[in-house]
């Protein structure tokens, strides 16, 4: 800076925007070497979006292929590679990562009132590990592909598959470490970085569920890491762990695999529960019903989730008595999950409901997750599972939980916190239409799969000319997938447009309560000008003033802006006594 220029602080009024985490620096280097949790969240948003797009492309090919009983474009070998690519990318590079790494990274320090996560450089490292892992997985898929499915069952993966199993596994291994570092960071942050007055039971439920998720991550991920590493060792050094010809036990692999991969389902869905609790409480303008129950049900799910892996193995060689126990404990998991659903619906009761776009996602989540969860009970009971296992019923079930649950909640959360992340208000009309497109497209895609699966359509098959009667369901499903794809692409446009044309968001555009809404939108690099001191509960919408209720009603009748009156907003001057 030249000596003649005035120092910015000496100017009487600052004409330009105040510094926030986005405009503090613009170079690529400032993004790639950042320690700021908010910037890392944005990096993750783009990279998970990229992998989601690739996984979605694979899904599109699968849905196209299945429109005819004799297949359309793919050879069987190619089909195996395509559905494996879909599964591996979506599970390991999208679902496990997306909510913790984007919303979690962005919000946890804000919500607990900290300047950053406990270990910012570790956080950046986790992104690089994720990118390195993702790149290696992609390289493996492009040069040769992988045809084991996302489950890597031995001995096929360890002895027979001629595809790029080792390379892809190394990529997943690195991605696992990215998860672990994120998990450690979150746990330490929640334990040690809370602002003065932020007691455990004043934490937003999103933080509780992210904490439970982190516990699952740090306990489960190392197990899958070493298990997959053993597969690599078996392939490269012939280390005989799972090979039946030497007396090894391939079912041991299934046990170790599902010891992680069942809890991994909770890594994917628990963050969604957290988002859901925030959305429901805010758009019902009501304290969440049974805060402690919702908080502890996350912990209960995390704990019980480690005791149910055997329900993936009812038709493996595991003992029937083992199956009975696993089946029983699986039913127990339904209890804390149902506690959550009941508490969300109870929160809605007599709430001051605002049907803005995040709320539409939240409401569709309740329905879709309930369907996904209840069909899980069919699969958790051994008798029905023997009939339904390895059919499209399973495919439909876990897509209801993963897409209907996690992706819907992610979209809801993204819409809810978008003004905070970018400082812009998007077009709520488009967002509402999009929420409906996603809901309808999703149901049209996956509901027919329940029926096809019940009729006996096996998963991972692309020829079904012996049962052409399921073609109608497949065509419905493929048509629905096109709708769903539209609903997943549209946000890119209207959210992207908001960056250019959107109105500036106030600090608290939803009139929500919580520390993340007390700083500017977008927040400054260190989040808060001064460390906040917490004196009340997070869902303190009570007492809802009469005026606020009227405002909400008016907002529903004349839906103008998604922005709502804040507690200390300007419009309140006209309030009556």
How far is residue 30's CA from residue 57's CA, in Å, rounded to a whole number? 32
Stretch that binds another protein, among 234-242, 318-326, 329-337, 370-378 (CB under 8 A): 234-242
Of the pair 1, 466, the CB lying nearest another protein is at: 1
**Contact call for residue 40 and another protein (CB under 8 A):** no
Stretch that binds another protein, among 246-254, 270-278, 477-485, 494-502 (CB under 8 A): 246-254
For residue 23, CA distances in Å to 5, 8, 30, 417 come to 21, 15, 11, 18
User: Shortest approach of another protein to residue 538 CB, angstroms?
Assistant: 21
Stretch that binds another protein, among 242-250, 335-343, 385-393, 429-437 (CB under 8 A): 242-250
User: How many residues bind to another protein according to rule CB under 8 A?
Assistant: 50
User: Shortest approach of another protein to residue 192 CB, angstroms?
Assistant: 4
Contacts 24+ apart (CB under 8 A), 44-47: 44/97, 44/98, 44/101, 44/102, 44/105, 44/127, 44/130, 45/102, 47/127, 47/130, 47/131, 47/134
Of the pair 21, 400, the CB lying nearest another protein is at: 21
For residue 212, CA distances in Å to 52, 139, 263 come to 24, 33, 11
**Contact call for residue 97 and another protein (CB under 8 A):** no
Of the pair 357, 527, the CB lying nearest another protein is at: 527
User: Shortest approach of another protein to residue 174 CB, angstroms?
Assistant: 15
**Contact call for residue 11 and another protein (CB under 8 A):** no
Contacts of 484 (CB under 8 A, 6+ apart): 403, 437, 438, 441, 442, 444, 445
Contact 409, 364 (CB under 8 A): no
Instruction: Name residues contacting another protein, limited to 113-132 (CB under 8 A).
Output: 114-120
The closest of 450, 451, 452, 465 to 72, measured between CA atoms, is 465
Stretch that binds another protein, among 71-79, 109-117, 290-298, 335-343 (CB under 8 A): 109-117
Of the pair 246, 557, the CB lying nearest another protein is at: 246
Task: Give the distance, in angstroms, between the CA of residue 498 and the centroid of all CA atoms in the same chain.
Answer: 23
For residue 543, CA distances in Å to 105, 291, 547, 548 come to 32, 17, 11, 10
**Contact call for residue 514 and another protein (CB under 8 A):** no
**Contact call for residue 299 and another protein (CB under 8 A):** no
Q: How many other β-carbons are positioned within 10 Å of the β-carbon of residue 13?
A: 4
Contact 331, 377 (CB under 8 A): yes
The closest of 543, 391, 379, 551 to 473, measured between CA atoms, is 391
**Contact call for residue 4 and another protein (CB under 8 A):** no
Q: Which of 148, 154, 227, 519 binds another protein (CB under 8 A)?
A: 227
Alpha helical stretches, state H, 349-465 = 357-380, 382-388, 392-401, 408-422, 428-455
User: Shortest approach of another protein to residue 126 CB, angstroms?
Assistant: 13
Beta bridge pairs of residue 458: 391
User: Shortest approach of another protein to residue 227 CB, angstroms?
Assistant: 6
Binding characters for another protein, 164-183, by CB under 8 A (x = yes): ----------------x--x
Beta bridge pairs of residue 424: 504
**Contact call for residue 256 and another protein (CB under 8 A):** yes
User: Shortest approach of another protein to residue 311 CB, angstroms?
Assistant: 19
Instruction: Name residues contacting another protein, limited to 184-223 (CB under 8 A).
Output: 184-185, 187-188, 191-193, 218-223
Of the pair 19, 459, the CB lying nearest another protein is at: 19
Of the pair 1, 320, the CB lying nearest another protein is at: 1
User: C-alpha dihedral over 73, 78, 80, 81, to 10 degrees?
Assistant: -130
Contacts of 87 (CB under 8 A, 6+ apart): 149, 150, 151
Tokens of 289: 């019903």
User: Shortest approach of another protein to residue 193 CB, angstroms?
Assistant: 7
**Contact call for residue 525 and another protein (CB under 8 A):** yes
User: Shortest approach of another protein to residue 442 CB, angstroms?
Assistant: 35
Binding site for another protein (CB under 8 A): 1, 24-25, 27, 29-30, 109, 114-120, 180, 183-185, 187-188, 191-193, 218-223, 225-227, 230, 233, 237-241, 245-249, 252, 256, 259, 525-526, 531
């Amino acid at each position: 800076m030249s000596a003649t220029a005035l120092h910015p602080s000496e100017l009487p009024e600052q004409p330009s925007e105040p510094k926030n985490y986005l405009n503090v620096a613009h170079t690529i280097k400032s993004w790639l070497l950042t320690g700021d949790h908010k910037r890392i969240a944005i990096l993750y948003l783009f990279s998970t979006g990229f992998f989601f797009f690739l996984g979605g492309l694979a899904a599109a090919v699968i849905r196209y292929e299945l429109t005819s009983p004799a297949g359309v474009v793919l050879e069987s070998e190619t089909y195996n590679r395509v559905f494996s690519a879909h599964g591996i990318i979506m599970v390991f590079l999208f679902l496990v990562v997306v909510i913790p790494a984007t919303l979690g990274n962005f919000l946890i320090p804000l919500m607990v009132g900290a300047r950053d996560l406990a270990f910012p450089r570790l956080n950046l490292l986790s992104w690089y590990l994720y990118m390195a892992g993702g790149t290696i997985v992609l390289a493996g898929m492009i040069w040769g592909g992988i045809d084991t499915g996302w489950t890597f069952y031995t001995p096929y993966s360890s002895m027979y598959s001629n595809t790029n199993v080792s390379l892809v596994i190394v990529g997943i291994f690195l991605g696992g470490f990215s998860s672990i570092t994120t998990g450690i960071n979150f746990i330490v942050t929640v334990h040690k970085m809370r602002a003065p007055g932020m007691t455990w039971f004043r934490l937003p439920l999103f933080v509780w569920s992210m904490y439970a998720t982190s516990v699952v991550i740090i306990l489960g991920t190392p197990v899958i890491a070493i298990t997959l590493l053993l597969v690599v060792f078996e392939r490269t050094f012939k280390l005989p762990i799972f090979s039946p010809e030497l007396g090894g036990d391939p079912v041991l692999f299934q046990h170790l695999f599902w010891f992680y991969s069942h809890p991994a389902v909770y890594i994917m869905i628990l963050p969604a529960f957290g988002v859901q609790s925030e959305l429901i409480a805010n758009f019902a303008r009501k304290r969440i019903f049974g805060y402690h129950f919702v908080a502890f049900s996350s912990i209960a799910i995390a704990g019980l989730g480690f005791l149910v892996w055997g329900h993936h193995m009812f038709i493996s060689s595991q003992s029937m008595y083992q199956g009975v126990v696993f089946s029983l404990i699986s039913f127990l998991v339904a209890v804390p999950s149902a506690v959550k659903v009941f508490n969300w619906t109870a929160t809605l009761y007599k709430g001051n409901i605002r049907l803005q776009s995040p709320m539409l996602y939240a409401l569709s989540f309740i329905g879709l997750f309930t369907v996904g969860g209840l069909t899980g009970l069919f699969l958790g009971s051994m008798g029905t599972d023997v009939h339904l296992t390895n059919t499209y019923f399973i495919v439909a079930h876990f897509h209801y939980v993963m897409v209907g649950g996690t992706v819907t909640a992610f979209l809801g959360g993204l819409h809810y916190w978008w003004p905070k992340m970018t400082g812009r208000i998007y077009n709520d009309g488009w967002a509402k239409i999009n929420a409906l497109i996603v809901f309808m497209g999703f149901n049209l895609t996956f509901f027919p799969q329940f029926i096809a699966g019940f009729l006996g359509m096996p998963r991972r098959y692309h020829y079904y000319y012996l049962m052409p009667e399921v073609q109608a369901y497949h065509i419905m499903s493929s048509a629905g997938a096109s709708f769903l794809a539209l609903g997943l692409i549209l946000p890119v446009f209207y959210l992207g447009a908001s960056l250019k044309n959107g109105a500036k968001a106030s600090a608290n555009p939803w009139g929500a309560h919580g520390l993340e809404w007390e700083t500017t939108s977008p927040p400054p690099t260190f989040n808060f000008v001064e460390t906040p001191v917490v004196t009340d509960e997070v869902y303190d919408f009570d007492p809802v003033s009469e005026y606020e209720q009227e405002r909400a009603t008016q907002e529903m009748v004349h839906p103008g802006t998604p922005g709502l009156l804040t507690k200390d907003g300007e419009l309140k001057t006209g309030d009556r006594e």
